[in-house]
Structure 1
Amino acid sequence: MNWKNKAFILKPDPLSFMKMTPSEYRYFFLALIIISVAFQGCNNQNEKSADKPITIQNFEIDTLKVFTSFETHDIAQPSDVKILKNGHIAIADYGQQTISILKKDGSLIHSFGRQGRGPGEFLNIRDILTIGEHISVYDSHQNRLVVFNYSGELLRSESFSSASMNKETTLINDSLYVIGIEGVSGSLLQVQNFKSDSVFNFGTPKAEKEQGLDLKKSKRQLKAGKVPNFFKNKVILNSDGTHIYAFFEALSELQKYDLHGNLLWSRMIDLPNNKQIFEDIVESAKENTNARSIPVLNYIADFLIIEDNMFILTARPSGGSQYIVKLNKQGEIVAEYSMPENATYGYDIDINPEDNTAYFTSWSAGIVYKGILPE
């Protein structure tokens, strides 16, 4: 029998199945059995792959060195670092409100910007955001995005909505951005558009939005070993242009959303320093006698997406080291890189996937480090 010519089983005629001959029935059900067995085998293989535990690789970064400092290029307080598409390195100087562009060898190409309210000036550089071949600088005090080309020429400024003032913000593309609204209107996040007034809220907050910070209540919760509600909705945001990622700073939880605001997955991230950091913060709250202050619980310093992987720069516990933690696209830890103990605290990180070169800013020491992530 020429099975390829037996197209009757694909016809839309609802009675075609009833018109089969006994011989055709046998071939039909034999094919069903073969397909069913093959499908079950694929399912079993997928389940085995999904259940297979991931072996976390552990490395030490032993190549860390000073890339630039105040003494070399007058960069006083490096707060943010970004690798540009042309391979140059952009560094934000919080102390002087400038952006410096360096080559891979550490030589300075040029600097631009200064403190002020005028065009191309900044009051508070919070982030360098790169979309395409532009450098976008987020000034959180003026609540605007200032866009430059790689030569430092001012191209345009975009104003954020008033709702984003001093909020965690990241770009999705050159038109859309997302902010953390921390439970306002019962939502966690909000997508806004530079070119229209359209907005939409999404995401379920971990706690109800509190009106102001009740320091006494929050400190009591922290002393009791609980995460204060005030901290639960604080997130660090990032986007790869097709998805939105939110890391809960005080809960060590990572969520992934599509651009319609649908939650795709949520995963607790067991970072190597979490236990010690929480114990340090609880102890600090117990020792803190200042009624107007509270220790801030934050498990990470920075979070970025590079190709199919995510990287987290952990916070640093007392007497310990910081880590760079690599995650796959499902949010599973695949590698942990320990920083040298003598390195000063790292605030921001970027990584070149072509050669695994990582750059770290140390705001307090006035240093930008450079090192290779081993494989």
Structure 2
Amino acid sequence: MSYKYSFTLSIAFILYALTGCNSETSSSTEISIIKLEKFETIISIEDNVLATPTLIRFGSNSNLFVNDDARTKVLEVDSNGNIVNEFGQPGRGPGELLLVNNFFLTDNHLYIVDYLQYFIHKYDYNGQFISSMDYGNKLGLPNAPPAPFSASQILVKDITNQPFITQDGNVMLSAVKFSDSVQSIYELTDWDGYHIIDIGSVPEGSTFVIDNDKLRSDVSNRVVPSLYRSNAFVIHNRANSDEYFLIYSALPKISKYNSSGQKLWSTEIPQTMELDSLTTRFFETMDQLQQRGRTSRIDLKYYTSGVSNTDGELFLITNTVPVWIHHFSTQGELIHRYKLISEDIENMPIFDIDFDRQRIFVVTEEGDIRAYPF
């Protein structure tokens, strides 16, 4: 099974191969590096349980919930590797799916975001469909035919500015549109789509309309392009169901908000060698594209997803090969860097954590699911 990231252009993947560098920046020399070399294969692709796992969640019942793009459904897998429940199925009917972008576990329900149909489907934990939210209608998005994609390749999901489900079943929808009047990053609504409050400040210098001259200037000046500055995704704070981390994935920066829209704190993430490699590759690749007279662009994304523990600490996975897990304190200070070692098969930046048994679950490029103790 071939290994690819999902970028704006498929050709850009070749140019934008994510490789590490050997030098450490001065701002990160005192942040400890912990190499994790031992792992256990929890589910092997040879077991024929999974085909293309692209999202994983560790449930409160100690089962793994896995989105399998080849099956177009979310599977619940027990500790013996057996499928015990299925959520959704391929199709356009009620509760059916075309392409899963993300899914969320709350106390009583499982929610699946269908990126192609602009639906969020709600199920109980027996796999029974309950209802759907048409977030495309709320955001004024047009119904479009499905874009071609390969279900045989493990592609990292892009959750930037995509819907997020809170623990009480409300929905955060992106407020970032191709407009000059963007006032926030997300809009919090109830399940019926009624506005509750705006969440997330727009970074200074952000733009929302593609301007190739401005993009070229930003790249030339080695600054984060204005078009990328508001790229962000949400992580729930497990220590407080009323709080959320907003990860600005191109800056990079972390802000914490509560459900009243109040910013509790904000901090910039220090450069490390793994993040610096992404910065270097981004600007080098953009230089090559622009020198060839192309108006195309690639993503600048330092992290692909994250999770918090019940103490309110944050863990983010880097968009690199090899993958790193960055561990942040309750105030957003980077305190540990875990490097997941794999000599034979590369790990993908797709993960979750079992905090009780201190295991990091990660998907490999071939579709295995491994557990690294930490």
Question: Which one-letter code corresponds to 1:353 in the other structure?
Answer: F
Structure 2 unaligned regions, length at least 5: 1-29, 142-158
Q: 1:113 corresponds to which residue?
A: 88
Q: Name 2:188's counterpart in structure 1.
A: 191
Percent of pairs identical after alignment?
17
What is the CA distance between 1:70 and its match in structure 2?
3.9
| Change in CA separation of 1:114 and 1:278 when aligned onto 2, cut-off 3 Å | same
Give the deviation of 1:266 after TM superposition: 0.4
CA shift for structure 1 position 187: 2.0
Q: Deviations over 1:113-159 (max 9, x none)?
A: 32211122111211120110322111122222222233322233233
Relative distance call for 1:350 and 1:217 in structure 2 (3 A) is: same
Task: State whether residues 119 and 133 of structure 2, in contact with CA within 8 Å, keep that contact through their aligned partners in structure 1.
Answer: yes
Alignment-derived partner of residue 105 in structure 2:
130
Q: 289, 292, 296: which is aligned to 1:293?
A: 296
- Match of 1:61? 36
Alpha-carbon distance change, 196 to 322 in structure 1, aligned in 2, over 3 angstroms: closer
Aligned residues: 316
**2:59 is equivalent to residue 89 of structure 1:** no
The answer for the alignment partner of 2:358 in structure 1 is 356
2-structure distance, mates of 1:367, 1:291: 37
Distance, in Å, in 2 between the alignment partners of 1:191 and 1:359 is 30
List aligned pairs for 1:313-328, cutoff 5 A. Answer: 313-316=317-320, 321-328=322-329
- In 2, the alpha carbon distance for the partners of 1:102 and 1:290 equals 49
Greater helix proportion: 1
Cα RMSD after superposing both structures: 2.5
Residue equivalent to 1:31: none
Secondary structure of the equivalent of 1:185? coil
Kept in 2, the 8 Å contact 1:301–1:346? The answer is: no
Bigger RCO of structures 1 and 2 (CA < 8 A, at least 6 apart): 2
In structure 2, the partner of 1:153 is: 128
For 1:315, give the aligned amino acid.
Answer: N
Which residue of structure 2 aligns with residue 306 of structure 1? 309
On the 8 A contact 1:236/1:303 being kept in 2, the answer is: no
Residues 252-286 of structure 1: per-residue CA shift (max 9 Å, x gap): 10001121111111001125312111011111112
2:60 aligned counterpart, secondary structure: coil
Equivalent residue number for residue 139 of structure 2 = 163
Taking the aligned partners of 1:105 and 1:314, their CA distance within structure 2 comes to: 29
Which stretch of structure 1 is more off in the superposition, 347-356 or 214-223?
Answer: 214-223
**Offset of 1:217 from its aligned partner?**
3.4
Name the stretch that deviates more: 254-263 or 135-144. Answer: 135-144
Contact 1:243 1:258 in 2 (8 A): yes
SS at match of 2:182: helix
Q: Which runs of 5+ in 1 are unaligned?
A: 1-54
SS in 1 for 2:348: coil
SS of residue paired to 1:218: helix
The one-letter code matched in structure 2 to 1:131 is T
1:208 CA displacement: 5.8
Deviation at 1:83, TM superposition (A): 1.1
Larger Rg: 1
Change (3 A) 1:345 1:62: closer
CA contact (8 A) 1:186 1:208 kept: no
